[in-house]
């Protein structure tokens, strides 16, 4: 921070980007010194991926300057960014699956010799370059991607969750290579794993609500401060619930509605074990890609578990199709409405689809009965159905209400909500949470994954935290403030002193940063 | 009831709204009907001899194609396509004509008709099973079965021939009582209604739209996607058998060589009739009107002695023009 412009390898300042009404980035900045490994951090939706896309030319910012080696650059495509010395390894491998590795290299004009050298440094010297990319496991593809990026010899290497899909031994190799970069090259390192950041990074820039809220020198014990920066000011709860009676009742001798015992798929989910009781809303918190998607797919009958047992009402079940789950009242509400709705069809058809498709015989639909059910659901959920002839003309919030309404109309017993309020305005969000509370009060068991941590206390009775495919923590929602959840989600060993002590200890150091960016005034923004 | 339903269903609040909602939901088909009216007037101008009597011959000649378009519409709505429709028609038509020649008698003919409809279900089932089980793209599967059914048709009847029961021919030729009502039109409407109305009001019907509109959402909603896809081909096979029977009825024979243009025209009519090739949108009434429109355009060209080669070119341009105009209007409307 004492460095002048000329000392910096890369400087991005005043970068903003809005998507319609959604502010993804507001005056974010990033300064990377030559030779350093610099972490870019932020909670889900803080603007990290938008920032990465802007740096690599995939997205054009509304405002902002990007200076590399003292010269202002503007990149309009990843190829542009590469010419400007910025190369990135994205979260998803950027290889063409139907070409072999050699052709993939040719496609990006990557020199072969340095590629081979980096490959053996990374522990994959035995890789046959004539293998079709689609035949390689995901972990090897990540390594190939990384070796290719290094072979191009960039000024700035941008690694977005490079270690997420890697086994431990490869992770170690990658971290070693990242650390060993010379003084000419800087690395921007994005990871959800604080331990890795502590191990390899020199400094960290923290984003929150699309703004840069602080730059931290990474030293022993700085993890807590980074967590604190990611959180920002503890946001006052939107409306405190008083129905702790419901909270207490869920375990009073009742049998659990759903018991998951050591559920695993072969990839991300490992031995997930938990219980869900009738009448409770059980929150699920996890960083991206910790196996929560797979867990919900298994519970909803869209995927079959590789191992483990699932009991519903104390009976073991094995779903072969979502219809099997729906038949026993276990239903799925997706974050992505496009995954749940027939966009060109009417509200009526969308609501009635599950209960008309549910019965296995191809009978007549009783239109009168169907109509009454649909009307009742529309009224319960206060769906604004003026544009009812085509669901795609409804607002996102109303669309999500339709997906919930259909299950209410078809008699739900267990509702699996996967980030149901993603991209929905605050008013509708509250309506949806009130609705979930009402459903729970009526005896429905609700499993709620949300990427917005502050909503856990609003809507849930209890919360479980998933990390690395396992349930690593369980706590009552009352004690689950954002700090506790974020720590648990990063699988930090409970230091017991959070949050008050840390807040007190860091507030002095934080003061200059906080005054500079004025947290709390920024609207709660979500990346589209 | 009315208080409960206000937000959802305006169609119950007033008759004007009912009309408006109907108009909005069927705007494409209504527009196409308007185009048909203009075309009929144009036909009368270029061919003053065109009379109400000619209407029934138009109807008879258009009947097989109309069934083909309905068959295609059903499978396209559910997100698939069937290129084998015309050879299904040839095979069912040849089987019907050959068996009716070998087994004369009205009662026998009824049994044969029922048997041929069963054959149609079977052909559709084979198509559907191949598409669902092999995961080979539908366009490839049905292109292959196009040749298979065509081969079978030639085995059944190496040359055109056979015969049709008199009652079957009477069913589709000429007007029914008054001149305005061609028999073929009545047969068409009755059969399509018997197949389509129960279908569209059943769970299978909404499932067809669901898998065509968004297979993932349908799957998530508990719709058995593969079974529904299979059944869409079965129903298409049944309607294609009606198309084959109507060929036999209108020509009195069975011809083993499939008319390749039937497939292309059926797809053209489906698109012109407001069914999205991406699936999930449309119905069977639009394609029916579209078939008549396409037939009238061809007839008018004949009357006007347009060189048939130019006629083909013109037909293609008309198809593109109408579709572009329609899409343009829809785009404007959805923006407003």
DSSP of A121-139, one letter per residue?
HTT-TT--TTSBGGGS-HH
Same-domain check for residues A182 and A145? no
Q: Is residue A92 in some structural domain?
A: no
How many distinct structural domains can be found in chain B?
1
What angle is formed at CA A320 by the lines to CA A315 and CA A323, rounded to 5 degrees?
Answer: 90
Are B172 and B252 spatial neighbours (Cβ–Cβ below 8 Å)? no
B25–A389 CB contact, under 8 Å: yes
Q: Is residue A281 in some structural domain?
A: yes
Tell me if chain A has a CB within 8 Å of the CB of B4.
yes
Q: Is residue B333 in some structural domain?
A: no
Are A308 and A272 spatial neighbours (Cβ–Cβ below 8 Å)? yes
For range A383-398, the mean pLDDT: 71
CA distances from B77 to A265, A323, B70, B213 (A): 35, 22, 10, 8
User: Of A125, A153, A181, which residue is a domain's last?
Assistant: A153
Q: Is residue B313 in some structural domain?
A: no
Rounded distance, CA B220 to CA B46, Å?
Answer: 55
What angle is formed at CA B298 by the lines to CA B296 and CA B303, rounded to 5 degrees?
Answer: 90
Range of the domain at A44: 1-85+154-234+499-522
Q: State which residue of chain B sits closest to A354, comparing Cα positions.
A: B221
Tell me if chain A has a CB within 8 Å of the CB of B214.
yes
Q: Is residue A31 in some structural domain?
A: yes
Chain A positions in Cβ-Cβ contact with residue B222 (cut-off 8 Å): 321-323, 325-327, 354, 357-358
Q: Is residue A240 in some structural domain?
A: no
Same-domain check for residues A517 and A454? no
Same-domain check for residues A167 and A259? no
For range B91-101, the mean pLDDT: 94
Tell me if chain A has a CB within 8 Å of the CB of B177.
no
Cβ contacts of residue A409 below 8 Å, gap of 6+? A351, A352, A355, A373, A374, A376, A377
Chain B positions in Cβ-Cβ contact with residue A348 (cut-off 8 Å): 8-9
Chain B positions in Cβ-Cβ contact with residue A339 (cut-off 8 Å): 214, 216-217, 220
CA distances from B127 to A412, B123, B138, B232 (A): 37, 6, 8, 10
Range of the domain at B150: 31-38+54-305
In angstroms, what separates the C-alpha of A302 from chain B's closest C-alpha? 7
Rounded distance, CA A211 to CA A12, Å?
Answer: 12
pLDDT value at residue A522: 37
Burial of B219 (0-12, 13-18, 19+ CB in 10 A): buried
B290-316: per-residue pLDDT in tens? Answer: 999 888 888 888 888 888 788 778 878
Q: Is residue A527 in some structural domain?
A: no
Assign B236 a pLDDT band (cuts: 50, 70, 90): very high
B280–A363 CB contact, under 8 Å: no
From B68, B95, B70, select the one nearest B243 (Cα to Cα): B68
A21-72: per-residue pLDDT in tens? Answer: 667 888 899 999 998 999 998 876 678 888 988 998 888 899 999 998 888 8
Please list the residues that pair with A35 across neighbouring strands: none
Same-domain check for residues A504 and A474? no
Please list the residues that pair with A211 across neighbouring strands: A208
Same-domain check for residues A515 and A450? no
Q: Is residue B44 in some structural domain?
A: no
A365–B281 CB contact, under 8 Å: no
Rounded distance, CA A413 to CA A86, Å?
Answer: 51
Please list the residues that pair with B10 across neighbouring strands: none
Query: Across all residues in chain A, what is the average pLDDT?
Result: 79
pLDDT value at residue B2: 34
Please list the residues that pair with A473 across neighbouring strands: A465
Inform me whether the pLDDT recorded for B231 exceeds 90.
yes
Q: Is residue B60 in some structural domain?
A: yes
Same-domain check for residues A33 and A180? yes
Chain B positions in Cβ-Cβ contact with residue A367 (cut-off 8 Å): 201
Are A15 and A207 spatial neighbours (Cβ–Cβ below 8 Å)? no
A86-109: per-residue pLDDT in tens? Answer: 988 887 778 888 888 989 888 888
For range A402-429, the mean pLDDT: 82
Q: Is residue A243 in some structural domain?
A: no
Same-domain check for residues A362 and A507? no
Q: Is residue A74 in some structural domain?
A: yes
Same-domain check for residues A80 and A107? no
CA distances from B32 to A319, B67, B286, B288, B289 (A): 47, 18, 8, 10, 7
The number of C-alpha atoms within 13 Å of A380 and in the hemisphere containing its C-beta is 21
Q: Is residue B320 in some structural domain?
A: no
What crossing angle do the helices spanning A367-380 and A347-358 adopt, rounded to 10°?
A: 120
Of B25, B222, B280, the CB nearest to A342: B280
Assign B107 a pLDDT band (cuts: 50, 70, 90): confident
**Sign of torsion over alpha carbons B180, B251, B303, B311:** positive
pTM confidence score: 0.72
Same-domain check for residues A225 and A102? no
Q: Is residue B335 in some structural domain?
A: no
Q: Where are the alpha helices (DSSP H) in chain B?
A: 2-5, 15-25, 27-46, 52-77, 85-102, 106-134, 138-156, 166-172, 183-200, 203-213, 215-220, 225-251, 260-272, 285-303, 308-335
Q: Is residue B295 in some structural domain?
A: yes
Are A316 and A337 spatial neighbours (Cβ–Cβ below 8 Å)? no
Say how far residue B53 (Cα) sits from the centre of its chain. 24
Q: Is residue B328 in some structural domain?
A: no
- Here the CATH number for the domain that contains residue A229 is 3.40.50.300
How many distinct structural domains can be found in chain A?
3
Same-domain check for residues A160 and A69? yes
Rounded distance, CA A9 to CA A32, Å?
Answer: 6
Tell me if chain A has a CB within 8 Å of the CB of B305.
no
3-state secondary structure of A260: strand
Q: Which two tokens stand for residue A158?
A: 């941008």
Cβ contacts of residue A394 below 8 Å, gap of 6+? A347, A383, A384, A385, A387, A388, A402
Mutate to test the interface with A, among B1, B208, B217 (most CBs of A within 10 A): B217
pLDDT value at residue A516: 34
pLDDT value at residue A245: 43
- Here the CATH number for the domain that contains residue B219 is 1.10.3470
Same-domain check for residues A254 and A195? no
Are B31 and B289 spatial neighbours (Cβ–Cβ below 8 Å)? no
For range B54-59, the mean pLDDT: 82
3-state secondary structure of A476: strand
Q: State which residue of chain B sits closest to A374, comparing Cα positions.
A: B8
pLDDT value at residue A346: 84
In angstroms, what separates the C-alpha of B22 from chain A's closest C-alpha? 10
Same-domain check for residues A260 and A405? yes
Query: Across all residues in chain B, what is the average pLDDT?
Result: 85
B218–A358 CB contact, under 8 Å: no
């Amino acid at each position: 921070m004492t460095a002048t412009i000329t000392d910096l390898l890369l400087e991005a300042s005043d970068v903003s980007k809005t998507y319609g009404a959604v502010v993804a980035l507001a005056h974010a900045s990033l300064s990377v010194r030559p030779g350093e490994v610099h972490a870019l951090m932020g909670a889900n939706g803080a603007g990290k991926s938008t920032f990465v896309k802007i740096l690599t030319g995939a997205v054009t910012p509304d405002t902002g300057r990007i200076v590399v080696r003292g010269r202002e650059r503007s990149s309009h495509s990843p190829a542009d960014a590469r010419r400007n010395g910025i190369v990135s390894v994205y979260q998803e491998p950027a290889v063409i699956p139907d070409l072999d590795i050699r052709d993939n290299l040719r496609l990006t004009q990557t020199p072969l010799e340095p590629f081979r050298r980096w490959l053996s440094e990374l522990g994959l010297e035995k890789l046959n370059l004539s293998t079709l990319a689609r035949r390689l496991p995901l972990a090897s593809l990540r390594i190939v991607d990384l070796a290719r990026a290094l072979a191009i010899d960039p000024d700035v290497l941008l690694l977005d969750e490079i270690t997420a899909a890697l086994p431990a031994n490869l992770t170690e190799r990658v971290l070693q290579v990242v650390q060993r970069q010379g003084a000419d090259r800087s690395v921007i390192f994005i990871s959800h794993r604080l331990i890795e950041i502590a191990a390899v990074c020199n400094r960290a820039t923290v984003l929150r609500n699309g703004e840069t809220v602080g730059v931290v020198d990474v030293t022993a014990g700085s993890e807590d401060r980074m967590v604190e920066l990611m959180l920002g000011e503890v946001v006052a709860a939107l409306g405190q619930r008083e129905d702790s009676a419901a909270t207490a009742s869920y375990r009073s001798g009742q049998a659990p509605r759903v018991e998951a015992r050591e559920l695993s798929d072969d990839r991300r989910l490992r031995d997930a074990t938990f219980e869900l009781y009738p009448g409770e809303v059980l929150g699920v918190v996890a960083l991206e890609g910790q196996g929560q998607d797979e867990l919900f797919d298994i519970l909803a009958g869209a995927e079959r578990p590789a191992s483990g047992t699932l009991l519903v009402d104390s009976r073991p079940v094995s779903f072969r199709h979502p219809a099997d789950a729906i038949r026993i009242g276990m239903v799925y509400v997706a974050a992505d409405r496009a995954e749940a709705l027939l966009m060109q069809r009417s509200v009526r058809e969308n609501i009635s689809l599950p209960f008309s498709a549910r019965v296995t015989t191809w009978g007549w639909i009783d239109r009168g009965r169907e109509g009454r059910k649909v009307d009742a659901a529309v009224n319960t959920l206060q769906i604004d159905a003026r544009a009812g002839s085509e669901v795609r003309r409804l607002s996102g919030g109303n669309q999500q209400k339709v997906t919930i309404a259909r299950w209410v109309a078809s008699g739900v017993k267990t509702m699996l909500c996967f980030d149901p309020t993603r991209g929905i305005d605050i008013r509708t969000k509250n309506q949806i949470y009130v609705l979930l509370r009402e459903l729970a009060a009526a005896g429905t068991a609700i499993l709620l994954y949300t990427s917005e941590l502050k909503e856990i206390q609003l809507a849930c009775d209890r919360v479980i935290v998933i990390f690395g495919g396992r349930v690593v923590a369980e706590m009552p929602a009352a004690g689950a403030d954002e700090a506790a959840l974020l720590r648990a989600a990063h699988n930090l060993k409970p230091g017991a002193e959070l949050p008050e002590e840390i807040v007190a200890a860091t507030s002095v150091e934080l003061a200059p940063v906080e005054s500079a960016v004025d947290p709390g005034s920024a609207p709660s923004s979500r990346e589209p | 009831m009315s208080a409960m339903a206000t937000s959802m269903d305006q169609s119950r609040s007033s008759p004007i709204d009912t009309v408006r909602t109907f108009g909005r939901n069927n705007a494409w088909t209504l527009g196409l009907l308007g185009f048909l009216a203009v075309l009929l007037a144009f036909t009368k101008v270029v061919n003053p001899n065109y009379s109400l009597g000619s209407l029934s011959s138009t109807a008879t000649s258009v009947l097989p194609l109309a069934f083909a378009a309905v068959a295609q519409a059903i499978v396209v709505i559910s997100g698939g396509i069937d290129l084998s429709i015309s050879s299904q028609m040839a095979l069912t038509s040849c089987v019907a004509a050959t068996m009716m020649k070998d087994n004369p008698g009205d009662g026998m003919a009824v049994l044969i008709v029922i048997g041929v409809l069963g054959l149609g279900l079977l052909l559709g089932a084979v198509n559907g099973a191949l598409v669902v089980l092999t995961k080979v793209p539908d366009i490839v599967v049905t292109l292959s079965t196009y040749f298979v059914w065509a081969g079978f048709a030639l085995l059944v009847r190496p040359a055109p021939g056979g015969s049709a029961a008199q009652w079957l021919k009477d069913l589709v030729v000429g007007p029914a009582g008054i001149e305005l009502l061609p028999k073929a039109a009545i047969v068409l409407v009755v059969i399509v209604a018997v197949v389509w109305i129960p279908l569209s009001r059943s769970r299978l019907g909404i499932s067809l739209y669901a898998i065509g509109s968004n297979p993932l959402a349908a799957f998530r909603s508990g719709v058995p996607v593969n079974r529904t896809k299979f059944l869409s081909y079965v129903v298409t096979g049944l309607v294609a058998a009606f198309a084959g029977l109507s060929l036999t009825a209108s020509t009195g024979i069975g011809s083993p060589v499939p008319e390749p243009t039937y497939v292309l025209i059926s797809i053209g009519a489906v698109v012109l009739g407001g069914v999205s090739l991406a699936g999930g949108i449309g119905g069977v009434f639009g394609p029916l009107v579209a078939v008549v429109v396409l037939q009238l355009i061809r007839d008018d060209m004949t009357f006007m002695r347009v060189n048939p080669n130019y006629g083909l070119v013109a037909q293609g341009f008309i198809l593109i023009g109408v579709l572009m105009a329609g899409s343009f209007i829809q785009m404007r409307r959805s923006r407003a």
